[in-house]
Structure 1
């Protein structure tokens, strides 16, 4: 027959070290994925700015004809 846990023991319960490490690994993986995506967005934005400038030059050239 099981005995009831003491009230003091119930108050002390928390996360185990393994649970905290698993949560940390999951968080780190999500952060790495997000960091990579943000870097890709920044590179795409820079490339888009270059293409916009080239397009503006073409439009100005066509207007001068």
Structure 2
């Protein structure tokens, strides 16, 4: 993953916030994808990608966990 891809994911999550379950799933998938790529050594710029991804926390939608 690169910074541009992370920005696209964040925008997709923002666009999905009305369907908060979808937005929450996308957010979880984004974080997991980034962690896997960091672990595999395939994330282009882990620090910048993480900075981009964490912006999802500023998107207002309900996050429920069971």
> For this structure pair, what is the TM-score category when the shorter chain's length is used for normalisation?
0.3 to 0.5
- Which protein shows a greater Rg? 1
Quick one: higher RCO (CA 8 Å, sep 6+), 1 or 2?
A: 2
TM-score (norm 2): 0.35
